[in-house]
Amino acid sequence: MLLSPVIHCHDRDLFSVAPMIDCTDRHFRYLARLISRKTMLYTEMLTIKEILCDKTGYALQLNAIEHPVGIQLGGSDPALLAHCTQLAVQEGYDEINLNVGCPSDKVQQGGIGACLMLQPKTVAACIEAMVKIATVPVTVKCRLGVDDHDSYEHLAEFIKVVSAQGCSKFIIHARKAWLKGLSPKQNREIPPLDYERAYRLKTDFPHLTIVLNGGIQHFDEVDSHLVRVDGVMLGRAIYNNPYMLHQVDSRYFGGDVGISEEAVVLAYMNYVENELVRGTKLTAMTRHLVKLFHKKPKASYWRKYLGSNGSQKGAGVEIIQQALEQMQG
Protein backbone atom coordinates (compact mmCIF):
# COMPACT_ATOMS: atom_id res chain seq x y z
CA MET A 1 0.00 0.00 0.00
CA LEU A 2 1.30 3.45 -0.91
CA LEU A 3 2.41 5.62 1.99
CA SER A 4 1.41 9.28 1.74
CA PRO A 5 4.02 11.45 0.01
CA VAL A 6 5.21 14.63 1.69
CA ILE A 7 3.25 16.97 -0.55
CA HIS A 8 0.72 16.61 -3.32
CA CYS A 9 3.22 16.76 -6.14
CA HIS A 10 2.38 16.09 -9.76
CA ASP A 11 1.42 12.44 -10.17
CA ARG A 12 4.19 11.77 -12.64
CA ASP A 13 6.82 12.73 -10.06
CA LEU A 14 5.88 9.84 -7.77
CA PHE A 15 7.56 7.07 -9.73
CA SER A 16 9.93 7.27 -12.68
CA VAL A 17 12.54 5.33 -14.61
CA ALA A 18 15.97 6.94 -14.76
CA PRO A 19 17.60 8.17 -17.96
CA MET A 20 20.29 5.58 -18.75
CA ILE A 21 22.75 5.84 -21.61
CA ASP A 22 22.48 2.89 -24.02
CA CYS A 23 19.38 1.68 -22.19
CA THR A 24 16.40 4.03 -22.24
CA ASP A 25 16.18 4.54 -25.97
CA ARG A 26 12.87 4.80 -27.84
CA HIS A 27 12.50 1.02 -28.06
CA PHE A 28 12.90 0.44 -24.35
CA ARG A 29 10.53 3.30 -23.59
CA TYR A 30 7.89 1.74 -25.85
CA LEU A 31 8.32 -1.58 -24.05
CA ALA A 32 8.12 0.09 -20.63
CA ARG A 33 4.96 1.94 -21.61
CA LEU A 34 3.27 -1.31 -22.58
CA ILE A 35 3.84 -2.50 -19.01
CA SER A 36 2.99 0.71 -17.13
CA ARG A 37 0.82 3.53 -18.42
CA LYS A 38 1.64 5.95 -15.60
CA THR A 39 5.38 5.66 -14.90
CA MET A 40 7.36 8.75 -15.88
CA LEU A 41 9.97 7.81 -18.49
CA TYR A 42 13.10 9.62 -19.62
CA THR A 43 15.28 9.46 -22.68
CA GLU A 44 18.91 8.56 -22.39
CA MET A 45 21.02 11.71 -22.22
CA LEU A 46 21.17 13.53 -25.54
CA THR A 47 23.91 16.11 -25.86
CA ILE A 48 23.26 19.39 -27.60
CA LYS A 49 25.87 18.35 -30.18
CA GLU A 50 23.99 15.12 -30.97
CA ILE A 51 20.75 17.02 -31.44
CA LEU A 52 22.12 19.90 -33.48
CA CYS A 53 24.18 17.63 -35.76
CA ASP A 54 21.18 15.38 -36.46
CA LYS A 55 19.74 16.73 -39.69
CA THR A 56 17.06 14.02 -39.82
CA GLY A 57 15.47 14.89 -36.48
CA TYR A 58 15.57 11.20 -35.56
CA ALA A 59 17.30 11.77 -32.22
CA LEU A 60 14.36 13.78 -30.88
CA GLN A 61 11.55 11.74 -32.40
CA LEU A 62 8.90 10.73 -29.92
CA ASN A 63 6.26 8.03 -30.10
CA ALA A 64 2.86 9.21 -28.86
CA ILE A 65 2.55 6.19 -26.57
CA GLU A 66 5.55 7.29 -24.51
CA HIS A 67 3.82 10.04 -22.51
CA PRO A 68 4.52 11.09 -19.82
CA VAL A 69 8.14 11.32 -20.95
CA GLY A 70 10.99 13.71 -20.33
CA ILE A 71 14.09 14.35 -22.38
CA GLN A 72 17.45 14.59 -20.67
CA LEU A 73 19.83 17.09 -22.23
CA GLY A 74 23.58 17.28 -21.83
CA GLY A 75 25.18 20.67 -22.29
CA SER A 76 26.54 23.80 -20.66
CA ASP A 77 25.89 26.52 -23.23
CA PRO A 78 22.74 28.44 -22.26
CA ALA A 79 21.86 29.55 -25.80
CA LEU A 80 22.30 26.11 -27.34
CA LEU A 81 20.42 24.44 -24.50
CA ALA A 82 17.60 26.93 -25.01
CA HIS A 83 17.47 26.05 -28.70
CA CYS A 84 17.41 22.30 -27.95
CA THR A 85 14.73 22.93 -25.34
CA GLN A 86 12.60 24.65 -27.96
CA LEU A 87 13.02 21.69 -30.33
CA ALA A 88 12.11 19.25 -27.56
CA VAL A 89 9.02 21.21 -26.59
CA GLN A 90 7.93 21.30 -30.22
CA GLU A 91 8.35 17.51 -30.37
CA GLY A 92 6.02 17.19 -27.38
CA TYR A 93 8.18 16.17 -24.42
CA ASP A 94 6.55 16.63 -21.01
CA GLU A 95 9.72 17.68 -19.20
CA ILE A 96 13.20 18.94 -20.05
CA ASN A 97 15.88 17.61 -17.71
CA LEU A 98 19.46 18.85 -17.52
CA ASN A 99 22.13 16.26 -16.74
CA VAL A 100 24.36 17.45 -13.90
CA GLY A 101 25.24 13.98 -12.66
CA CYS A 102 27.04 11.89 -15.28
CA PRO A 103 30.72 11.42 -14.30
CA SER A 104 32.08 9.70 -17.42
CA ASP A 105 35.38 10.91 -18.85
CA LYS A 106 33.79 11.60 -22.22
CA VAL A 107 31.09 13.74 -20.68
CA GLN A 108 33.60 15.61 -18.53
CA GLN A 109 35.71 16.38 -21.59
CA GLY A 110 32.70 18.17 -23.00
CA GLY A 111 32.40 20.23 -19.82
CA ILE A 112 29.00 18.78 -18.97
CA GLY A 113 27.48 16.29 -16.53
CA ALA A 114 28.64 15.97 -12.92
CA CYS A 115 31.50 18.45 -13.24
CA LEU A 116 28.84 21.18 -13.56
CA MET A 117 28.08 20.77 -9.86
CA LEU A 118 31.24 22.81 -9.34
CA GLN A 119 29.73 25.59 -11.46
CA PRO A 120 26.31 26.43 -10.00
CA LYS A 121 26.22 29.83 -11.70
CA THR A 122 26.73 28.19 -15.09
CA VAL A 123 23.93 25.73 -14.38
CA ALA A 124 21.73 28.59 -13.20
CA ALA A 125 22.37 30.47 -16.43
CA CYS A 126 21.45 27.37 -18.43
CA ILE A 127 18.24 26.86 -16.47
CA GLU A 128 17.30 30.52 -16.86
CA ALA A 129 17.68 30.30 -20.64
CA MET A 130 15.79 27.01 -20.86
CA VAL A 131 12.92 28.16 -18.65
CA LYS A 132 12.38 31.23 -20.83
CA ILE A 133 11.78 28.96 -23.83
CA ALA A 134 10.00 26.02 -22.22
CA THR A 135 6.26 25.60 -21.72
CA VAL A 136 6.91 22.45 -19.67
CA PRO A 137 8.94 21.95 -16.46
CA VAL A 138 12.72 22.32 -16.68
CA THR A 139 14.42 20.09 -14.10
CA VAL A 140 17.88 19.01 -12.96
CA LYS A 141 19.30 15.58 -12.17
CA CYS A 142 22.43 15.81 -10.04
CA ARG A 143 24.58 14.07 -7.42
CA LEU A 144 25.14 14.97 -3.77
CA GLY A 145 28.47 16.48 -4.80
CA VAL A 146 31.71 15.69 -6.58
CA ASP A 147 35.16 14.74 -5.29
CA ASP A 148 35.85 16.60 -2.05
CA HIS A 149 33.11 19.14 -2.74
CA ASP A 150 30.51 16.98 -1.08
CA SER A 151 29.34 18.76 2.05
CA TYR A 152 25.65 19.35 2.61
CA GLU A 153 26.36 23.08 2.57
CA HIS A 154 27.83 22.82 -0.93
CA LEU A 155 24.80 20.84 -2.13
CA ALA A 156 22.32 23.24 -0.54
CA GLU A 157 24.06 26.23 -2.10
CA PHE A 158 23.90 24.55 -5.52
CA ILE A 159 20.18 23.91 -5.11
CA LYS A 160 19.58 27.46 -3.89
CA VAL A 161 21.40 29.12 -6.80
CA VAL A 162 19.87 26.92 -9.49
CA SER A 163 16.31 26.90 -8.14
CA ALA A 164 16.32 30.71 -8.08
CA GLN A 165 16.29 30.64 -11.90
CA GLY A 166 13.11 28.60 -12.19
CA CYS A 167 14.03 24.98 -11.56
CA SER A 168 11.52 23.60 -9.07
CA LYS A 169 12.33 19.89 -9.38
CA PHE A 170 15.61 18.18 -8.57
CA ILE A 171 16.29 14.49 -9.06
CA ILE A 172 18.97 13.57 -6.55
CA HIS A 173 21.21 10.57 -7.14
CA ALA A 174 22.06 10.05 -3.48
CA ARG A 175 25.78 9.50 -3.99
CA LYS A 176 28.58 11.88 -4.74
CA ALA A 177 30.64 11.31 -7.90
CA TRP A 178 34.37 10.91 -8.22
CA LEU A 179 35.44 12.67 -11.40
CA LYS A 180 38.71 10.71 -11.62
CA GLY A 181 39.58 7.13 -10.86
CA LEU A 182 36.14 5.51 -11.09
CA SER A 183 34.21 4.30 -14.12
CA PRO A 184 30.56 5.32 -14.54
CA LYS A 185 29.55 1.85 -13.28
CA GLN A 186 31.79 2.19 -10.23
CA ASN A 187 30.36 5.65 -9.60
CA ARG A 188 26.94 4.00 -9.37
CA GLU A 189 28.17 1.52 -6.78
CA ILE A 190 31.22 2.64 -4.77
CA PRO A 191 30.43 6.10 -3.35
CA PRO A 192 28.19 5.45 -0.34
CA LEU A 193 24.51 6.25 -0.49
CA ASP A 194 23.27 9.04 1.75
CA TYR A 195 19.49 9.26 1.54
CA GLU A 196 19.36 11.48 4.63
CA ARG A 197 20.87 14.36 2.66
CA ALA A 198 18.08 14.15 0.11
CA TYR A 199 15.55 14.07 2.95
CA ARG A 200 17.20 17.15 4.45
CA LEU A 201 16.90 18.97 1.13
CA LYS A 202 13.16 18.38 1.20
CA THR A 203 13.00 19.75 4.73
CA ASP A 204 15.11 22.81 3.91
CA PHE A 205 13.49 23.47 0.51
CA PRO A 206 9.86 22.41 1.07
CA HIS A 207 8.66 24.37 -1.98
CA LEU A 208 10.81 22.23 -4.31
CA THR A 209 9.99 18.79 -5.68
CA ILE A 210 12.71 16.38 -4.59
CA VAL A 211 12.92 13.00 -6.33
CA LEU A 212 15.27 10.36 -4.91
CA ASN A 213 17.43 8.08 -7.07
CA GLY A 214 20.21 5.60 -6.40
CA GLY A 215 20.46 2.02 -5.14
CA ILE A 216 16.72 1.43 -4.76
CA GLN A 217 15.71 -2.11 -5.66
CA HIS A 218 12.26 -2.90 -4.26
CA PHE A 219 8.86 -1.29 -3.89
CA ASP A 220 8.92 -1.48 -0.09
CA GLU A 221 11.98 0.77 -0.27
CA VAL A 222 10.10 3.11 -2.61
CA ASP A 223 7.26 3.32 -0.10
CA SER A 224 9.55 4.20 2.79
CA HIS A 225 11.28 6.95 0.78
CA LEU A 226 7.98 8.49 -0.31
CA VAL A 227 7.30 9.41 3.28
CA ARG A 228 10.27 11.81 3.12
CA VAL A 229 10.49 12.95 -0.51
CA ASP A 230 8.12 13.66 -3.38
CA GLY A 231 9.13 10.91 -5.76
CA VAL A 232 11.41 7.97 -6.37
CA MET A 233 13.33 7.07 -9.51
CA LEU A 234 14.63 3.58 -10.26
CA GLY A 235 17.23 2.80 -12.90
CA ARG A 236 19.10 -0.49 -13.27
CA ALA A 237 16.58 -2.36 -11.12
CA ILE A 238 13.95 -1.68 -13.78
CA TYR A 239 16.18 -2.21 -16.79
CA ASN A 240 17.31 -5.57 -15.42
CA ASN A 241 13.74 -6.59 -14.63
CA PRO A 242 11.36 -4.42 -16.70
CA TYR A 243 8.30 -6.43 -15.76
CA MET A 244 8.57 -4.92 -12.28
CA LEU A 245 6.71 -2.00 -13.83
CA HIS A 246 3.47 -4.01 -14.02
CA GLN A 247 2.89 -3.27 -10.32
CA VAL A 248 3.36 0.48 -10.56
CA ASP A 249 0.00 1.67 -11.88
CA SER A 250 -2.09 -0.20 -9.31
CA ARG A 251 0.30 0.43 -6.44
CA TYR A 252 0.89 4.16 -6.88
CA PHE A 253 -1.72 5.57 -9.24
CA GLY A 254 -4.91 3.64 -8.53
CA GLY A 255 -4.86 2.03 -11.96
CA ASP A 256 -5.25 -1.53 -13.15
CA VAL A 257 -2.75 -4.30 -12.57
CA GLY A 258 -0.41 -4.57 -15.55
CA ILE A 259 -0.77 -7.09 -18.33
CA SER A 260 1.05 -10.43 -18.45
CA GLU A 261 4.54 -10.88 -19.84
CA GLU A 262 3.10 -12.80 -22.79
CA ALA A 263 0.66 -9.98 -23.61
CA VAL A 264 3.54 -7.51 -23.43
CA VAL A 265 5.53 -9.57 -25.93
CA LEU A 266 2.62 -9.82 -28.37
CA ALA A 267 2.02 -6.07 -28.24
CA TYR A 268 5.72 -5.35 -28.63
CA MET A 269 5.85 -7.63 -31.67
CA ASN A 270 3.47 -5.29 -33.49
CA TYR A 271 5.84 -2.42 -32.74
CA VAL A 272 8.81 -4.50 -33.94
CA GLU A 273 7.10 -5.27 -37.23
CA ASN A 274 6.51 -1.60 -37.92
CA GLU A 275 10.07 -0.66 -36.97
CA LEU A 276 11.56 -3.36 -39.19
CA VAL A 277 9.76 -1.80 -42.14
CA ARG A 278 11.44 1.50 -41.23
CA GLY A 279 14.82 -0.20 -41.34
CA THR A 280 15.43 -0.62 -37.61
CA LYS A 281 17.60 -3.62 -36.76
CA LEU A 282 15.86 -6.43 -34.91
CA THR A 283 18.57 -6.62 -32.25
CA ALA A 284 18.07 -2.94 -31.42
CA MET A 285 14.64 -3.95 -30.14
CA THR A 286 15.11 -7.50 -28.87
CA ARG A 287 17.99 -6.48 -26.60
CA HIS A 288 15.44 -4.81 -24.33
CA LEU A 289 13.28 -7.93 -24.25
CA VAL A 290 15.86 -10.39 -23.00
CA LYS A 291 15.24 -9.68 -19.30
CA LEU A 292 11.45 -9.51 -19.48
CA PHE A 293 11.00 -12.97 -17.96
CA HIS A 294 13.37 -12.22 -15.08
CA LYS A 295 13.93 -15.36 -12.93
CA LYS A 296 10.96 -17.13 -14.51
CA PRO A 297 11.17 -20.77 -15.66
CA LYS A 298 12.91 -20.97 -19.04
CA ALA A 299 14.12 -17.36 -18.72
CA SER A 300 17.64 -18.44 -19.66
CA TYR A 301 16.29 -20.13 -22.80
CA TRP A 302 14.43 -16.94 -23.72
CA ARG A 303 17.59 -14.87 -23.38
CA LYS A 304 19.76 -17.31 -25.31
CA TYR A 305 17.26 -17.78 -28.13
CA LEU A 306 16.81 -14.06 -28.73
CA GLY A 307 20.53 -13.45 -28.40
CA SER A 308 21.66 -16.17 -30.78
CA ASN A 309 18.93 -15.82 -33.42
CA GLY A 310 18.07 -12.13 -33.40
CA SER A 311 21.26 -11.13 -35.19
CA GLN A 312 20.93 -13.62 -38.05
CA LYS A 313 20.62 -12.18 -41.52
CA GLY A 314 16.99 -11.71 -42.47
CA ALA A 315 15.72 -12.39 -38.95
CA GLY A 316 12.33 -10.91 -38.23
CA VAL A 317 9.56 -10.85 -35.70
CA GLU A 318 9.17 -14.62 -36.02
CA ILE A 319 12.24 -15.00 -33.81
CA ILE A 320 10.32 -13.43 -30.93
CA GLN A 321 7.28 -15.57 -31.70
CA GLN A 322 9.33 -18.75 -31.68
CA ALA A 323 10.99 -17.84 -28.39
CA LEU A 324 7.61 -17.09 -26.85
CA GLU A 325 6.15 -20.41 -28.00
CA GLN A 326 9.00 -22.21 -26.29
CA MET A 327 8.36 -20.26 -23.09
CA GLN A 328 4.71 -21.29 -23.20
CA GLY A 329 5.40 -24.90 -24.08
Catalytically annotated residues? 102
Helix axis angle for 261-277 and 318-328, nearest 10°, is: 170
Residue 34, φ and ψ in degrees, nearest 5: -65, -30
Question: How far is the C-alpha of 327 from the C-alpha of 319, rounded, in Å?
Answer: 13
Burial (CB count within 10 angstroms: exposed 0-12, middle 13-18, buried 19+), residue 55: exposed
Report the SS3 class of residue 202.
helix
Q: Report the distance separating Cα 242 and Cα 285, nearest Å.
A: 14
How far is the C-alpha of 131 from the C-alpha of 110, rounded, in Å?
23
List of residues 6+ apart from 118 with CB closer than 8 A: 146, 149
